[in-house]
Structure 1
């Protein structure tokens, strides 16, 4: 009896982890110098600084998740100066240097 309960529990945990793993958001950030940075997550990102800052961002491809359907680009690290808000698909952003982003 305990073996079947354990097996059922493990199956449920496996199925839930598979669902969560396949429902994450993805964001490809394209730069003027030809580089692409791929970002991903499962929940809201909070204010996150870009690691690459030496080139202007030209476009962002964003694929939503169950928990996040919007991204915002900011001109400074503290995420107070909202410059661009995007949704699912290819977003041609104003060519500029962006310091941080949020996904929610």
Structure 2
């Protein structure tokens, strides 16, 4: 039987932005943009160090910037950054930072 998991957003992402390079990478790997956003806003921070995960968890409560990092199948990475004021969340490649 298929069981669905209810995702619980931890914060509002604000305006959603995707850079052209990140969009192309996600498209190449067949990953929908919405799935990356959902992982991020639900607190799956991906492949960031434990200290950064703890900082993100604290930042959800205190209103600081949030950073997630997800590895693609070709070992490249995609970053997701939400601004401290929750005005915008951007998906980008690390080279574009």
Q: How high is the TM-score relative to the length of structure 2?
A: 0.26
Which structure has the highest helix share of the two?
Answer: 2
Select the structure with the greater relative contact order (CA < 8 A; seq sep ≥ 6): 2
Larger radius of gyration: 1
Q: How high is the TM-score relative to the length of structure 1?
A: 0.25
